[in-house]
Every structure is written in C-alpha cells, then in structure tokens.
Amino acid sequence: MLTSSPSSFSSDVAVALKEPILSHCAQLKEQSKEDIWLIGGGKANALFLDAGLIDEFIFTYIPKTLGKGIRIFEGDASLNSYSLVEHKFYPNGVFQIRFVLKN
C-alpha cells in the first residue's frame, strides 16, 4: 500500500519501507512468479510508469459522473510504448480496455 498519510493506517495493515519504493517494487517484480497489481492515484501511477515498472494496463470506464473525476496519471504520461490488445463492453455500460507494453 502506498499512502501519503501513513499515520492513517495501523501497523497490521501497512509496512513502512526503509528503502526507496521503486527499488523495492523492482525487486518484487523480478522475484515474483505472479502479477503485481497497482491500484493507485495519479502520482503513484506516473511514478511506476516513468520507472518502467508497468507492463500492462487495464482501464475500466464506469458510466457514472464523479465530479471532475480522478486523473489516471499526473504530469505528461504517455502510453506510446503500449499497444491496445483487448476491449470489452458489458451490458451495464461498463467499458474496459487493456494495453500491454510493446516488445
């Protein structure tokens, strides 16, 4: 869990790292046999994208108005290195697209 307010969480839910988060996550990615999910805000998403730690995106659009909405990425993030490989429409109006990192 990444958070900008760690005091809001108990120690049984969150672990404080003594190393930079990107170094820790790069090690996890190398060691893991499973996928690692990132569900974050614009800052976290941009941080991991800029570091080259994301190899797949799944964006889900839910047709509800939430004020101005939430930015997926902060800054000038680009998906030019990714290819659209799948899209799905669901009967309830949800639309989902999947991008993977180009080889």
| pTM score of the predicted model | 0.68
Is 1 inside a domain boundary? no
Residue 96: per-residue pLDDT: 95
Residue 83: per-residue pLDDT: 94
* Structural domain containing residue 36: 6-101
CA atoms within 13 A on the CB side of 18: 0
pLDDT in tens, 7-60: 776 666 556 666 677 787 788 888 887 887 777 778 878 888 888 888 898 988
Number of domains into which the chain is organized: 1
Is 60 inside a domain boundary? yes
Is 22 inside a domain boundary? yes
CA atoms within 13 A on the CB side of 51: 17
Is 38 inside a domain boundary? yes
Is 95 inside a domain boundary? yes
Is 49 inside a domain boundary? yes
Cα separation, 56 vs 35, in Å, equals 10
Encoded amino acid at 25, one letter: C
Is 24 inside a domain boundary? yes
pLDDT in tens, 52-99: 888 898 988 888 766 776 777 787 778 888 999 999 999 999 999 999
Question: What CATH number is attached to the domain comprising 72?
Answer: 3.40.430.10
